[in-house]
Amino acid sequence: MIKILKFYQDRGLKIVKGEGQYVWDDKGDKYLDLHAGHGVAFLGHRNKTVISYLEKQMNEIMTLSLAFDTPIREEMTRELDDLKPNNLEHVFLLNSGSEAVELALKIARKITKRRKIVAFKNSFHGRSMGALSVTWNKKYREPFEPLIGPTEFLDYNNIDSLKNITEDTAAVIVEPVQGEGGVIPAKKEFMKALREMTEKVGALLIIDEVQTGFGRTGKIWAYQHFDIKPDILTAGKAIGGGFPVSAVFIPEWISEKIEEGDHGSTYGGNPLAVAAVTAACKVAKSEKIADQAQKKGELFLKILKEKLEDFKIIREIRGLGLMIGIDLKVNPSTAIKILQDEKVLSLKAGLTVIRFLPPYVINQSDMEWAADAARKGISETESKRLAS
């Protein structure tokens, strides 16, 4: 029998069903899913609106080249218009976050006619060759070098480092909250200084919102926390309500310089993906998901800090909206394993962080469940450390 390549560590669970913020394994055990497919299931598993739109579209047409128009695409543009990033009136749909980053980097080079890209230490932007070239972790990059360059990595949240953004820089790519890097929110003064520097030297500012975007941080787009505007924005994960889709948003002045053939994607913007985005937009507006994420994120942080305040092994509990990290002074793998044993799914970020990426439908009872499970996992981790 053919074997599937395993690029991810096996968690030892066979998941057979999902509903809202929960999943079930093949033994019938119920789990609180704070992993959510690396944050994809922000609208909850099997969101009813998303399912209904997909079912309807499957019964009409599933595959169609972007050379042809279709009613669902027209509906999507109407729904997405209310939620589009400020001043970014044009969108192109793709299939993954990495693909969105690839297109953003291509656009930056074409528009500026420069080559250098600036990114940040602890960044993660994807694993394809262009996206990988602006991803910090050497474990991901070094086996595949030489990558696309030149690339320079600066210190995140360090305004002094921004002097390295010069007139040979095509673009700077930044996450408003570093997810894979450790759930590290940007500081407002840093993001403002970054915007000012890119404008000064004529470099484009690419804001990577593949994980942070579409409501998770308490705003529809996380950059809105910082009172700045991007030149290019990449989105993915939550924007399709669980369906594989990503997007690149650009303003009119950039779109005017994009030509036929500059990019393409066989599956990008296919009718099913467009239907999923349409439905996700409807949910985002009707359910006020960003407002819910902000309020629930504040409550979740409060519960976690109250229940875990006595652990010396915890360096910090931080986050923005429903993007939360518990930063330990040691590897979090033991705690993540015990969380799973307690029927709470989480994931690692950076070297020391337990990451929670809950669906917006999480409730206070779920938060208490997660905090109690985290307490058990961290207690065991601290005991092992003291014993060693």
**Known binding-site positions for pyridoxal 5'-phosphate:** 124, 208-211, 266
Please give the annotated binding residues for substrate, written as ranges: 127, 265
Please give the annotated binding residues, written as ranges: 124, 127, 208-211, 265-266
202-235 in b/e form (b: 16+ CB < 10 A) is: ebbbbbbbbbbbbbbbbbbbbbbbbebbbbbbbb
**Helix/strand/coil (H/E/C) assignment for every residue in the chain:** CCCCCCCCCCCCCCEEEEEECEEEECCCCEEEECCHHHHHHHHCECCHHHHHHHHHHHCCCCCCCCCCCCHHHHHHHHHHHCCCCCCCCEEEEECCHHHHHHHHHHHHHHHHCCCEEEEECCCCCCCCHHHHHCCCCHHHHHHHCCCCCCEEEECCCCHHHHHHCCCCEEEEEECCEECCCCCEECCHHHHHHHHHHHHHHCCEEEEEECCCCCCCCCCCCHHHHHCCCCCEEEECHHHHCCCCCEEEEECHHHHCCCCCCCCCCCCCCCHHHHHHHHHHHHHHHHCCHHHHHHHHHHHHHHHHHHHHCCCCCEEEEEECCCCEEEEECCCCHHHHHHHHHCCEECEEECCCEEEECCCCCCCHHHHHHHHHHHHHHHHHHHHHHHHC
Beta-carbon contacts of 266 under 8 Å, excluding residues fewer than 6 positions away, are: none
The first and second tokens of residue 148, run together, are: 């696309």
Size of the chain, expressed as the number of residues it contains: 388
